[in-house]
Structure formats: C-alpha cells, structure tokens
C-alpha cells in the first residue's frame, strides 16, 4: 500500500454531511448546472454524490454520525434538503421517512448553528436565526479575553469566513417547490435564534450571549460598526494569506479541511470574487480532490491524512524490527523529512518569538497548522528508523514540541493554550470544540515520543506532563479519548508514555488503569468501544470488537503487565485469528468492503473529530495498529520479523475464527 515516493495515505471516511453540504454549497454558489473544476458537466458529478448520500440513509429515514448512532437532526435536514434540490420527489418513501424523523425531533428549526448557515444562504431561515459572528473579531487585541489566538485552529478557519457570510448575508432565493417549509414545526421559531437557550450553558451565560447576539444584529441593521469596513478587509486578507496549503501562496485550501474549504468559497463569492479568478479555481480544485469516485457514486473525504498515516506506518514497521536499512522504511522516512514544516504559522503567536518553525502537519500540505500529535508520531518513527538525517529531524521536532507545552503540563493539538470555559458558551460553539485545551491522549503520546529521545521522569517537562495525566484519570482508572474512540484510546495513550519515561508500572494509578482495561476485555479476547460512550459514560469500553481498539488495549496490557500476561496473549490471538485470509478477502458476506488479505474487517468509526458532533473512520487504523501491537509482542518474545515471514507457531495462534464472531 506504500506509494512510490514512500508515503502512505488511507481513505479518511466521515459521515453524510460531507456529501449534503457539498451539494448545498453548489446551489448556494449557483453552480449546480456549471462545469466542475475538472471541466466535467455538473450533471455527471453531482448525481453521483447524491447517490452516495442516499446509500447512507438508514432504514428509519435518518442520517447519523457513525454506524450505531442515533438519528442526527441536522444531518437529516441537510440530507433531505440536498436530495430535494437534486430532484428527489418529496413524496418518495425515503423522503417521507426523512421528513418524519425531522418532525419527530422538533423540526428543522432545531438544527445546529453551522447547519443554519447553509439554510440561511438558501433562504430557508432568516439570518436572524444564525448566530452573529462580527468580522471585527479580527481586530481584537491579544489581551482581550476573546480573540482569535484563544480559540482552536480549526475554529479560526471556520469562523473567519463565516463572519463575512453573516455580515454580507448572501442569499439565493429558491422557487417555493425546492424549499423545505415542510420540515419546520414552528414558523415563528424558524426565523429566531434560540439555540443557546436549549444547550447546557448556565442560564446566566445563555442570557448574556443572547443579549450580545441581539445587539450585534441591531448594529448590523443600522449599517454596522465604524470598524466594519476595516474588519472585512483584514478578514479577507487573513483568508487569502492562509488559503495556500503550503503556507505561502495566496491561493486556496484554507485549513486543508472540508468545512473551511467550503466556507471560503461562499465568503469570497459574497465579496465579489469571480469563478475564473485563480484563488477560486484553486479552492475548487483542492476541495474536489477529496472525491473518491466509483462507477456511480462519489464519496467525499473531510481531508487527506498522509503525514499521520505515514508516521504511524513507519512507527509500526520499526516495531517489527525494520530500520532505515529496509527500503520501505528508508523511503517513508525520507518522505516525512521532506514534509517538515518550515513556515511560521498561527502557533507562533502564543510562543516565544525566537522559536524556529518546525513540526509536521496532518495533510499533504498545511504550513499554517502543524500539530503536536502528528509531530510526536513522526518524531518516533524517524528516531526508530535511525540514520543521521532522520534523527536530526526528530530532534528538531522535539524542540518544537517542548515549546508548546501548556502551563498545566499537558499538550493540546495545535497551540500553546489556556482553557477559558466561558468561550464554550458562545452561541456558535456548538461544534463542541471551540478551544484546543490540553488533553491526556496527546500528552501521553508526547511523553512516549520524548522517551525515545532520552527524556525521563527526572526531566521537568515530563514530570509536569505526568502530573497532568494523573489529574485527568477517571475514577475507574481510564482516560477520556479526545482524538480516538474513546476511553480505550485515551487509556492507551495516557499509560504507555509515562511508563516509557520511567513511571513505575506498579504505581496504584497505573495498576488501576490495568484493572480497568482487563475489566472491559471481551470473552473472545478482543476489545471494542462505540462512540456512544461520548454520550453515555456507562458505555465506557463497550462496543463491537475492532482490530484497532484491540491493538490499543494489547499495548496497554503489555506495558502494564508484561509480555507474558495471559490476557495480552488472548488479545494477540484474536488479532491473529481474525486477520483476513485470501479466501475471506473475496467473500463479500464476511468482507463487504473488499479489504485485502492481511487486513481486518472493521466498518466501525474509531477516530474522533469533534466529540458528539463528527467522527472518523481511518481505513488504515485496522492495519498499522495491529501490526504495531503484534510487532511489540513478538519482539518481547525474541522474534525478529525482518524480511522473513513469521511462522504461526511463533505466536501460538488459535485456529482462524469467522470474522465478526
């Protein structure tokens, strides 16, 4: 699966909103009948996106965030609306079912704020129903409690283009027959902004922010503030500066992720940019590059994950005993070194000015936003691979990571930050990730990374990080997983790093973690957890068995209990026993996705974007994490893989079992 230049990149799968929001964007931009970025007629492309959107609809008529999730109101409204615009008969059975789901959940007036931006731009709700995002936020100084430096990197790239949309208020008027009047329960509530009143925000803060929202809308009606024109120009330049994924050119690809890549097209059109301008053409090409096209469907990825996939794949290969002497490792390491970030991005605003640019980003190019998680994984892979150039790059990466440690001892995803709880109550914070605070999973991975560069618990950054992780431990002994599903992921990351840095595995907080992970092991030796655990904490560590989560748990067991632990052996045996054979790989009853022999069947989402809002299915998780776990197990038993195949007797495999058994 390795590309010729050395990198790996598996499919990154999101939910239905990627398809529905793309279709809605095309109608907002009046491009549903115009040629696509590659010159093809829209009538050849958009129906394929609609086909895939239909395939994701559940039997009850809803769309949801992941397999096993309940109906998602906003996703169902957008799915229905997109299909109606594409010509689906509202009296067709699948549309009737979807409409009933929406009405049963209180109507389209209860959509989240980010969905209402689409509805407002297509005239289905008033912009009064959308939270005000004044472009003047671009002018707020760093000392001000709310400013762009104090919100997460992804929030910056989302709210800056949307601030232009809420100010310029572009609306395409649709014929009544294409509207969605039938999805609203209350015509009065349809055009009012009441979202903050329905959330778990303390009542006082709800009233406060609703009052601010009303004031901002009154100011808009009288022509805006004296600073509005300046703010619009500054915001426009901010977008253009960050539109180039290489961090330099003023072209498109804002944030290198789907939502801002959509929003910037709507914002720039509202500013008067024409479709033939270079910045718009690049924006369209970058977004359409996320298509995965088959004969009659197109599914859309939220972004590409090559640095993440290559870093983990490299680390897994080194866990199997390979180093830079192996061509696959050498090529992967060389590709990663070439992707080291040299651009001074937004992160620089919160650290000492003399810190040199560094780190690695997630995508093929995203120079404004390297992140700590990717950098930690890449550094581990490069250090393990060996070679002077690789190790030198790894050391530079560690210096960049250390400079971004937060005051609480932990690490966040993109920036050195301080958590400000009040910001979570802002009306447009309903994507559940307004900020980017420290989290135990990234902090634990960072400690594992530091251990490979010789850091121990005797070093002050490590001591502070370990104390942070201990403070975050749940009563049962597990940890919340911010970036993976969920407590199995969080516990894997939080435990392994401290132990690698010298924390004694006999300590009570570590043994408590070990007891918890054993308590959620399933009878067949596997582990699994549904994203439902983000909603219902009684679901911690419970869900369908998956190869990726079993691998995470196996690595916990080996770190805490050693390589001879019988429960570790059961987990490894499950992985070996459920790996797809040649015969199983072509059996669509056991392997509907057509995964190759050597992989595992894993249809569930084990990655997290925004908890409770957006989840991810990384198609390589089911490959490199089991490889990592089995490689560590074999190495601990003195088995070196190298270039030679491993005989089944080396790990005393159980007989093959049916996939899903």
Judged against a pLDDT cut of 60, whether residue 654 lies above it is answered with: no
CA distances from 298 to 20, 67, 406 (A): 12, 19, 41
C-alpha to C-alpha distance for 108 and 99, rounded to whole angstroms? 10
How much is the pLDDT for 645? 46
Instruction: Please indicate, yes or no, whether residues 234 and 321 belong to a single structural domain of this protein.
Output: no
H helix runs in 203-257, sequence order: 203-221, 228-243
Instruction: Please indicate, yes or no, whether residues 172 and 35 belong to a single structural domain of this protein.
Output: yes
Instruction: Please indicate, yes or no, whether residues 28 and 60 belong to a single structural domain of this protein.
Output: yes
Q: Is 373 known to be catalytic? A: yes
pLDDT band at 657 (very low <50, low <70, confident <90, very high): very low
Judged against a pLDDT cut of 70, whether residue 653 lies above it is answered with: no
Residue 471 located in a structural domain: no
How many independent structural domains does the chain possess?
3
Residue 400 located in a structural domain: no
Instruction: Please indicate, yes or no, whether residues 308 and 293 belong to a single structural domain of this protein.
Output: no
Instruction: Please indicate, yes or no, whether residues 308 and 261 belong to a single structural domain of this protein.
Output: no
Last residue of a domain, one of 355, 383, 411: 383
Q: Across the chain, which distance is largest between two alpha carbons, in Å?
A: 78
Instruction: Please indicate, yes or no, whether residues 150 and 175 belong to a single structural domain of this protein.
Output: yes
In the chain, the N- to C-terminal Cα span, in Å, equals 27
| pTM score of the predicted model | 0.93
Determine contact, residues 440/469, Cβ cutoff 8 Å: yes
Domain hosting residue 513, numbered range: 505-661
Instruction: Please indicate, yes or no, whether residues 267 and 344 belong to a single structural domain of this protein.
Output: no
For the residues 126-137, what does the mean pLDDT come to? 93
CATH code of the domain containing 608: 1.50.10.20
Judged against a pLDDT cut of 70, whether residue 245 lies above it is answered with: no
Instruction: Please indicate, yes or no, whether residues 220 and 360 belong to a single structural domain of this protein.
Output: no
Residue 257 located in a structural domain: yes
pLDDT band at 660 (very low <50, low <70, confident <90, very high): very low
The predicted-structure confidence for 25-40, as pLDDT tens digits, reads as follows 999 999 999 999 999 9
Judged against a pLDDT cut of 80, whether residue 450 lies above it is answered with: yes
Residue 633 located in a structural domain: yes
For the residues 363-372, what does the mean pLDDT come to? 93
Judged against a pLDDT cut of 80, whether residue 650 lies above it is answered with: no
Instruction: Please indicate, yes or no, whether residues 192 and 84 belong to a single structural domain of this protein.
Output: yes
HSE, side-chain direction, 13 A CA sphere, residue 523: 1
Q: What is the mean pLDDT of the chain?
A: 91
Last residue of a domain, one of 300, 331, 358: 300
How much is the pLDDT for 199? 54
Instruction: Please indicate, yes or no, whether residues 294 and 322 belong to a single structural domain of this protein.
Output: no
How much is the pLDDT for 206? 78
How much is the pLDDT for 647? 45
How much is the pLDDT for 56? 97
- Top pLDDT among 426 and 344 is at 344
Judged against a pLDDT cut of 70, whether residue 192 lies above it is answered with: yes
pLDDT band at 85 (very low <50, low <70, confident <90, very high): very high
State the Rg of the chain over Cα.
Answer: 25
Residue 350 located in a structural domain: yes
Helix (H, G, I), strand (E, B) or coil at 565: coil
Least confident of 65-79, 339-353, 388-402, 421-435: 421-435
Instruction: Please indicate, yes or no, whether residues 294 and 319 belong to a single structural domain of this protein.
Output: no
Best CA proximity match to 599, nearest among 616, 578, 630: 578
- CB-count burial class (<10 Å; 0-12, 13-18, 19+) for 19: buried
Exactly one of 15, 213, 309, 373 is catalytic; name it. Answer: 373
Handedness of CA 540, 543, 548, 553 (dihedral sign): positive
Determine contact, residues 107/185, Cβ cutoff 8 Å: yes
């Amino acid at each position: 699966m390795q590309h010729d230049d050395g990198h790996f990149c598996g499919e990154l799968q999101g939910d239905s909103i990627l398809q529905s929001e793309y279709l809605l964007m095309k109608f907002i931009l009046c491009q549903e009948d115009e040629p696509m970025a590659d010159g093809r007629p829209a009538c050849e492309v958009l129906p394929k996106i609609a086909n895939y959107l239909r395939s994701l609809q559940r039997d009850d008529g809803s769309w949801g965030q992941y397999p096993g999730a309940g109906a998602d109101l906003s996703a169902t409204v957008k799915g229905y609306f997109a299909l109606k615009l594409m010509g689906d008969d509202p009296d067709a059975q699948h549309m009737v079912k979807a409409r009933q789901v929406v009405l049963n959940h209180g109507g389209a007036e209860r959509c989240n704020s980010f969905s209402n931006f689409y509805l407002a731009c297509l005239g289905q709700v008033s912009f009064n129903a959308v939270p005000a995002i004044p472009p003047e936020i671009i002018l707020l100084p760093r000392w001000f409690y709310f400013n762009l430096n104090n919100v997460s990197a992804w929030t910056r790239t989302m709210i800056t283009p949307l601030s232009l949309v809420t100010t310029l208020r572009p609306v395409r008027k649709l014929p009544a027959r294409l509207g969605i009047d039938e999805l609203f329960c209350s015509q009065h509530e349809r055009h009012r902004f009441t979202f903050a009143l329905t959330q778990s925000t303390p009542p006082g803060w709800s009233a406060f922010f609703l009052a601010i929202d009303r004031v901002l809308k009154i100011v808009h009606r009288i022509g805006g503030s004296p600073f509005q024109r300046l703010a619009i120009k500054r915001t426009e330049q901010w977008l253009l500066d960050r539109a180039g994924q290489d961090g330099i050119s003023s072209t498109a690809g804002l944030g290198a992720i789907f939502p801002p890549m959509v929003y910037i097209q709507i914002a720039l059109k509202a500013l008067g940019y024409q479709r033939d301008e270079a910045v718009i053409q690049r924006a369209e090409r970058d977004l359409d590059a996320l298509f995965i096209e088959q004969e009659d469907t197109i599914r859309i990825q939220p972004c590409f994950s090559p640095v993440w996939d290559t870093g983990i794949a490299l680390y897994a290969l080194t866990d199997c005993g390979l180093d830079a002497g192996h061509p696959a490792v050498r090529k992967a390491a060389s590709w990663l070194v070439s992707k080291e970030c040299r651009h001074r991005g937004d992160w620089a605003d919160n650290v000492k000015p003399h810190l040199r640019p560094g780190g690695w980003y997630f995508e093929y190019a995203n120079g404004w936003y390297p992140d700590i998680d990717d950098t930690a994984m890449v550094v581990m892979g490069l250090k393990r691979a060996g070679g002077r150039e690789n190790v030198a790059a790894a050391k530079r990466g560690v210096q960049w990571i250390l400079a971004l440690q937060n005051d609480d001892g932990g690490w966040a995803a993109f920036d050195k930050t301080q958590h400000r709880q009040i910001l979570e109550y802002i009306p447009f914070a309903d994507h559940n990730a307004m900020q980017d605070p420290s989290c135990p999973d990234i902090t634990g991975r960072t400690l594992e990374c530091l251990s490979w560069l010789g850091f121990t618990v005797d070093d002050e950054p490590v001591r502070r990080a370990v104390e942070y992780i201990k403070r975050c431990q749940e009563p049962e002994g597990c940890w919340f997983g911010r970036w993976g599903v969920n407590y199995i992921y969080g516990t894997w990351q939080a435990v392994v790093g401290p132990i690698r840095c010298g924390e004694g595995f006999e300590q009570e907080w570590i043994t408590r973690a070990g007891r918890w992970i054993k308590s959620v092991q399933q009878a067949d030796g596997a582990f699994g957890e549904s994203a439902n655990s983000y909603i219902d904490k009684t679901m911690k560590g419970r869900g369908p068995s998956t190869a990726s989560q079993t691998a995470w748990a196996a690595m916990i067991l080996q770190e805490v209990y050693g390589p001879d632990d019988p429960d570790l052996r059961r987990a490894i045996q499950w992985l070996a026993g459920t790996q797809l054979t040649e015969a199983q790989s072509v059996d669509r009853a056991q392997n509907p996705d057509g995964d190759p022999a050597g992989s595992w069947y894993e249809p569930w989402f084990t990655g997290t974007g925004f908890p409770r809002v957006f989840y991810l299915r990384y198609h390589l998780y089911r490959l490199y994490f089991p490889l990592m776990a089995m490689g560590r197990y074999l190495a601990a038993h003195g088995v070196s893989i190298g270039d030679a195949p491993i005989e089944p007797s080396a790990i005393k495999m159980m007989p093959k079992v049916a996939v899903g058994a």
